[in-house]
Amino acid sequence: MPLTPEQQAEIDALRATPRATLRAVSEGMEAHLYRAHEVLDHGFVRVIDYMGDDAAIVQAARVSYGAGTRKVNDDSGLIRYLMRHWHSTPFEMCEVKLHVKLPIFVARQWIRHRTANVNEYSARYSIMDREFYIPAAEHLAAQSTVNNQGRGATLQGDEAARVLEILKSDAARSYDHYEEMLSQDGQQGLARELARMNLPANIYTQWYWKTDLHNLFHFLRLRADPHAQYEIRVYAEAIARVVADWVPVAFGAFEDYRMGGVTLSAKAIAVLKRRLAGETVTQEDSGMSKGEWREFTEIWG
Ligand SMILES: Cc1cc2nc3c(=O)[nH]c(=O)nc-3n(C[C@H](O)[C@H](O)[C@H](O)COP(=O)(O)OP(=O)(O)OC[C@H]3O[C@@H](n4cnc5c(N)ncnc54)[C@H](O)[C@@H]3O)c2cc1C
């Protein structure tokens, strides 16, 4: 379980004390505030705070004095225009602060997104919890034979059982030694900042992560993508569901132009034009590399 009964009680108490505010409120986001969305076996994502809504993007773009000065259709059209033409700063006017519980090896990928503010649980100050990510059977996959940076077929039978056993027993043994090093009867024990060093990368950490909508979209485009590793993708997908409720119009534009859209190179446009004129174009006379051609034909056939 990602949350203890005490943690759940704290969340319930926060949700039970609403206040009147003059600030922009997104009804969709209010429903998510403080609630934990479970991810992986012990992880979660929950919204701690947010600023702005779809109207805030429009207000900033128009540098207007109020909300709702134009029709809803105009606002939606403007947001879609901004997204289509890479006008990023109006999206930076919305911010979100998340509390995330995640395995350390996922955190290492996540922290590469530098345009965010982070505060992580201190394993110098506190003792880490005995919680490890152990993949579900369907996610225990072999190395891909076609993609060096990916996974292939799911492990089966004895092999799957053997790998699971190694993962579980190594995690348990490392944690037992961690506890043993921290303190033993009659001994002072090793400092927490040192004892943590042989904990495995599948142990869970936690952080507060704050970013703006523009950079969050960038994160989601990379990490909610099928090429991203499953274990970070599920976090991105959980966040994406929250964002869809927070700023539905901006999220719709993001899905359309970024997640669902493609960027065409000048060479790709030239090949498409030749094809539309009835010409058969091959990779050799396309001017594209083999890799570019493969990616092009994956989309255009
Ligand atoms: C599928 C996948 C595989 C990956 N594989 C690897 C890998 O093998 N090895 C590896 O090291 N990383 C890898 N990465 C991480 C990747 O290279 C990026 O570091 C990560 O996705 C963060 O992207 P970003 O820098 O655009 O994001 P952010 O750090 O959030 O930055 C957002 C944007 O802000 C600008 N920006 C931020 N900081 C600076 C700066 N200091 N100077 C200039 N511009 C800045 C850039 O325009 C940047 O795109 C992988 C990522 C993905 C999605």
Separation between Cα atoms, residue 159 and residue 166, nearest integer Å: 11
Q: Is the CB of 224 under 6 A from ligand 1?
A: no
Contact between residue 254 and residue 238 where contact means Cβ atoms under 8 Å apart = no
Give the least confident one: 54-68, 86-100, 190-204. Answer: 54-68
What's the distance, CA 70 to chain centroid?
Answer: 33
The answer to whether residues 220 and 239 touch, using CB atoms and an 8 Å cutoff, is yes
Residue 232 — very low, low, confident or very high, per pLDDT cuts 50/70/90? very high
CA neighbor of 87 nearest in space, from 116, 55, 62: 62
C-alpha 86/C-alpha 214 separation (Å) is 10
User: What pTM did the predictor assign?
Assistant: 0.94
The angle at the Cα of 243, spanning 241 to 246, to the nearest 5 degrees, equals 120
The model's pLDDT over 68-98, given as tens digits with 9 standing for 90+, comes to 556 666 899 999 999 999 999 999 999 999 9
Confidence of residue 50 (pLDDT cuts 50, 70, 90): very high
Residue 85 in contact with ligand 1 by CB distance below 6 A: no
- Give the phi and the psi of residue 266 in degrees, each rounded to 5: -60, -40
Is residue 126 part of an annotated ligand binding site? Answer: no
Nearest Cα neighbor of 94 from 54, 65, 61, 67 is 54
- Residue with the nearest Cα to atom 50 of ligand 1? 109
d(CA 170, CA 168): 6
Nearest CA to ligand 1 atom 32: 115
Six token digits for residue 79: 């947001």
User: For 5-130+202-259, CATH number?
Assistant: 3.30.1360.170
Q: Is 85 annotated as ligand-binding?
A: no
> Which residue is closest in CA terms to ligand 1's atom 24?
113
120 marked as binding residue: yes
Q: Which atom of ligand 1 is nearest to the CA of 116?
A: 30
Q: Is the CB of 218 under 6 A from ligand 1?
A: yes
User: Which DSSP helix (H) or strand (E) runs through 205?
Assistant: strand 204-212
Instruction: Choose, from 223, 233, 275, 294, the residue flagged as catalytic.
Output: 223
Measured in Å, residue 113 CA sits from the centre of ligand 1 at 6
Cα(75) to centroid(ligand 1), Å: 31
Does any ligand 1 atom lie closer than 6 A to the CB of residue 115? yes
Give the Cβ contact number of residue 208 at 10 Å: 15
Vertex 133 angle, CA 130 and 134, to 5°: 115
Residue 223 designated active-site: yes
- Give the rounded percent of residues in the chain with a pLDDT score beyond 90: 82
Digit-coded pLDDT (tens) for 261-297: 999 999 999 999 999 999 999 999 999 999 999 999 9
